[in-house]
Amino acid sequence: MTQGQPQEALIQETARLQDLAQEWTRLFPQAASQGEHWLKVLSQVQAHVSEDICRLAVVGAVKSGKSTAINALLGQDLLKRGAGILTAMITRIQPGPQPRAVLRFKDWPQINGEINRALGLLPVPGLRERSAPLDLRQAADRELLLLVLGEAQKEEIWSAGTLDPNYLLLKSYLEGYELLQGFRPQDNVWSLSGPELTRHREMVTREATAVYLQDVLLTIPFPWTATGVELGDCQGSDSPIPQHLAQVLVYLVKCDLALYVVSSRVGLRQADFQFLGELTRMGLMSHLLFLLNLDLGEHESVAEVQRLRDRMVQELAPWQPEPRVYAFSMLKLLLERRRRRGENLDQREAGLLQVWAMDTGAASFSDQEAARFQQDLQAAIQAVQGRRLEGGSLSQVQMVARGIREQLELTQGLLSQDLEALQKVESHLQARRQPLESTLSSLDQTLDGAGLHLKKALKDRVNSVMDRRGGKVGAALTGFIRDYEPNWDRLLLPEAPATFRPALYQLFQECVKELSHYVTAEANVSLVEFIREQEDWLRRELTRVETPLLLSLQDALTLYYRQIEELGFPSTPPALEMAANPRPSGLDVPLLNLQLDPGWWLDAEVWVRSGAGVLERYWEALKRKIGLSAEMEPRRQLLRDLGRALKAIKEWLQEQVKVQLIDYEERLKFQYFLPLVDQWLQQQETALANTMRSLLTDLEGVAGAMHLEEAERSSRRRRLEELLPQARQIETHLEEMRQDSK
């Protein structure tokens, strides 16, 4: 898989321009400031391009083949295949000269928060005696947690036994604590390279250690040119743990493309269609490429495989008019690439390739589809990178290239004239610079005023959408809590009233789980819709504000170039354009993440409010004794008590959500939208100022050269003649890049 990537091409042309700018500075040291400006702009572009990453998320259901797809693209068994639910974090892979892994751990407040949420209302006596949350770093708390796990398992409190997510979480944290002693660094970041790199796989595939990880970044040499590309191995979109889907959505918001993997044995399911609906609302459907992962041993013929692909195209049509679907065996592609690298396949792997090779039709179809996918993926990456560069970095480099070429042409012509002619040219050009400089000086004030207006409007819009009474997100979230009714039949409701506390624990955990799922699948999707709408609105408003400024600058620049032409130097003014407004790389979209810490007072509060307290129990027993009421059927009594408990839980959840919505609202305004306004305005101002400085001719160095001996002046003219073809060639290449990106 080879690519001529726009980023690499721009980096190469930028390096050539740097050589020209340095040569100019050496030839005309009196005009070094002009060369320094060109070098400064080119250096800024280089830094931006090197940090600009095209992210490809690999998504799909658990065990659909996501890790195998990435391994196939990389041609090696980097990620563990078939890890399934063990994939508890996003694993990111970027190209680099040497293999390296950077593991980022969760911080202790996050770890302890997850532990205490899983313990919320757990009916174990040792917990009710505490007045503070557990801290896993304390030996006494680890001993208590071990005791709690034993007691809860003995009482069969967890509905799914040892497969219950809360049980697995607590057990993994407890086991992993001892395993990580001596390995967890103070700054929560652990870098592995060389022989230690193999430890990465142990960490991410063992539940007890993976649960501590927040993020994994692998850097390895790619078998294909992949400058500025990142692959993201995401959790299964059908994971039963809401936090997993939340992590996937957070990563997808930052992504440019997504590879959606579907197993040919299962096909698209209801969970896939639900996920596709969420992606559609987030505006991501046009970024998707669908991979039908063929299990060649499960299908009878090529015709059957083609029918599977065609059916998938039809099923996706309502979501994407012309879905890009590719059907091939990712395992076959991986094994063949490993063999071509010189690896020795084990007996089973070699046997699989032999079996598949016997069905030449299916094998050939898979190879053709894999090749088509790789070609289209290459084109998609190039298109993304080209769009990002056009109007931004590419435009800046083009203006530098034009400025250098024009400076070389003008200087070459003036060196053949006398000092008086040079001074005349400088006088006329200086008069034409003044309108440009005047317009630029007013640019800052105009943009500052516009920024204040835009920030106020965005604050009002955020307040409106998050309002708990009528806001699209705030009111919907509080309404979900108000109207929530659990599936009572699905909860384990024991027959005896004495088992109220285990049932209460299940009820509380079910409420928290359903609320977390709603926040991820509904509230956050609505927030992404809202944020994208505001970004589009902001771009339109910036265009409205900046268009008059741009026209004024264009008029002044046209007069400046007309003056150059009147002085006998043919020239055409460039067409100014506003810089593109992509989301800044260092500014991540914040999504809502509820931290529902029950606290140790909630257990007693719910117990009393539910009617299961001592006084009510005593009063009910007394009424039955004196004949004022009949014996209540145990299940009915349990349902009554749990119904009252649910009301108390809902009131607690409403208070929790109220506080956290206020906090999120402030973060969305002050950590995202307001910095976004500042950065976009600064981008426009800097881009226009850089353009003017790149184009405005500096004749000071030429004036200094007029005092040189004729032989030295002739030498410099000849050198300019040698440099001009290079400058023109670079301009031509840059313009071709712009046309290719359209």
Reading the block at residue 463, the tokens are 């307040």
Residue 204 banded pLDDT, cuts 50, 70, 90: confident
As a whole number of angstroms, the distance between CA 102 and CA 220 comes to 12
80-89, 162-171, 406-415, range with the lowest pLDDT: 80-89
65-69, 157-161, 439-443, range with the lowest pLDDT: 157-161
In a domain, 702, yes or no: no
Closest CA to 72 of 224, 201, 218: 224
469 three-class SS: coil
As a whole number of angstroms, the distance between CA 483 and CA 481 comes to 6
H helices present in 155-284, as ranges: 165-179, 199-205, 207-210, 242-253, 270-281
As a whole number of angstroms, the distance between CA 334 and CA 632 comes to 65
In a domain, 318, yes or no: yes
In a domain, 382, yes or no: yes
Residue 230 banded pLDDT, cuts 50, 70, 90: very high
Please give the pLDDT value at position 695. Answer: 83
At how many degrees (to 10) do helices 500-518 and 242-253 cross? 10
Q: What percent of the chain has pLDDT over 70?
A: 92
What single DSSP character describes residue 120?
A: T
CA-CA-CA-CA torsion sign (262, 268, 270, 273): positive
Domain end point (choices 170, 195, 216): 216
Whether residue 358 sits in one domain with residue 240: yes
Mean pLDDT (whole number) for 247-276: 92
For residue 344, pLDDT beyond 80? yes
398-402, 444-448, 620-624, 709-713, range with the lowest pLDDT: 620-624
User: Residue type for 726, please?
Assistant: Q
Q: Is 435 exposed, middle or buried (0-12, 13-18, 19+ CB in 10 A)?
A: middle
Please give the pLDDT value at position 3. Answer: 42
Mean pLDDT (whole number) for 117-146: 87
In a domain, 509, yes or no: yes
Mean pLDDT (whole number) for 85-99: 79
As a whole number of angstroms, the distance between CA 211 and CA 169 comes to 7
For residue 416, pLDDT beyond 80? no
Whether residue 448 sits in one domain with residue 337: no
Segments forming the whole domain that contains residue 285: 52-96+221-389
Please give the pLDDT value at position 497. Answer: 43
Tokens 């250096």 sit on residue = 43
Please give the pLDDT value at position 137. Answer: 95
Whether residue 364 sits in one domain with residue 267: yes
Q: Domain containing 272 — which CATH number?
A: 3.40.50.300
Strand partners, 92: 217, 232
As a whole number of angstroms, the distance between CA 148 and CA 136 comes to 13
User: Residue type for 203, please?
Assistant: M
Whether residue 235 sits in one domain with residue 212: no
For residue 44, pLDDT beyond 50? yes
Mean pLDDT (whole number) for 617-637: 61
Strands 189-193 and 100-105: antiparallel
pLDDT in tens, 472-504: 999 999 999 999 999 887 775 444 445 777 888
Please give the pLDDT value at position 447. Answer: 85
At how many degrees (to 10) do helices 347-358 and 330-340 cross? 120
pLDDT in tens, 143-183: 999 999 988 888 777 766 666 888 888 999 999 999 998 77
For residue 53, pLDDT beyond 70? yes
Whether residue 119 sits in one domain with residue 229: no
Please give the pLDDT value at position 709. Answer: 80
- CA dihedral of residues 184, 185, 191, 193 (deg, nearest 10): -70
Residue 724 banded pLDDT, cuts 50, 70, 90: very high
Q: Which of 135-139, 152-156, 318-322 has the highest mean pLDDT?
A: 135-139
Whether residue 725 sits in one domain with residue 656: yes
Please give the pLDDT value at position 201. Answer: 83
Strand partners, 100: 193, 219
Residue 111 banded pLDDT, cuts 50, 70, 90: very high
Domain count, the chain: 3
As a whole number of angstroms, the distance between CA 324 and CA 376 comes to 9
Residues 6+ apart with CB under 8 A from 702: 28, 31, 411, 414, 415, 422
Q: Mean pLDDT in the chain?
A: 86
Whether residue 149 sits in one domain with residue 38: no
Mean pLDDT (whole number) for 281-286: 89
As a whole number of angstroms, the distance between CA 535 and CA 629 comes to 64
Whether residue 139 sits in one domain with residue 62: no
365, 305 contact by CB (below 8 A) = yes
Residue 714 banded pLDDT, cuts 50, 70, 90: confident
Mean pLDDT (whole number) for 338-346: 91
Whether residue 688 sits in one domain with residue 628: yes
For residue 396, pLDDT beyond 80? yes
Q: Cα 44–226–390 angle (5° rounding)?
A: 45
Q: What percent of the chain has pLDDT over 90?
A: 44
For residue 84, pLDDT beyond 50? no
Residues 6+ apart with CB under 8 A from 695: 399, 402, 403, 406, 557, 574
Please give the pLDDT value at position 672. Answer: 96
Reading the block at residue 354, the tokens are 């032999």
- CA dihedral of residues 471, 473, 478, 482 (deg, nearest 10): 100
CA-CA-CA-CA torsion sign (344, 346, 347, 351): negative
Residue 612 banded pLDDT, cuts 50, 70, 90: low
For residue 662, pLDDT beyond 90? yes
Domain end point (choices 152, 184, 216): 216
Please give the pLDDT value at position 462. Answer: 97
Whether residue 542 sits in one domain with residue 433: yes
- Return the higher-pLDDT residue of 9 and 618: 9
In a domain, 129, yes or no: yes
Please give the pLDDT value at position 83. Answer: 47
408, 539 contact by CB (below 8 A) = no
Q: Cα 58–221–19 angle (5° rounding)?
A: 115
Whether residue 278 sits in one domain with residue 210: no
Please give the pLDDT value at position 457. Answer: 97
Q: What are phi and psi of 105, to 5 degrees?
A: -90, 155
In a domain, 132, yes or no: yes
Give 6-58 as a 3 state SS string.
HHHHHHHHHHHHHHHHHHHHHHCHHHHHHHHHHHHHHHHHHHHHHHCCEEEEE
User: Residue type for 739, please?
Assistant: Q
Please give the pLDDT value at position 712. Answer: 84
In a domain, 412, yes or no: yes
Mean pLDDT (whole number) for 402-427: 82
Whether residue 421 sits in one domain with residue 371: no
In a domain, 601, yes or no: no
Mean pLDDT (whole number) for 45-73: 90
Mean pLDDT (whole number) for 598-626: 62
CA-CA-CA-CA torsion sign (405, 410, 411, 412): positive
231-235, 306-310, 604-608, range with the lowest pLDDT: 604-608
- Return the higher-pLDDT residue of 241 and 110: 110
Domain end point (choices 336, 359, 389): 389
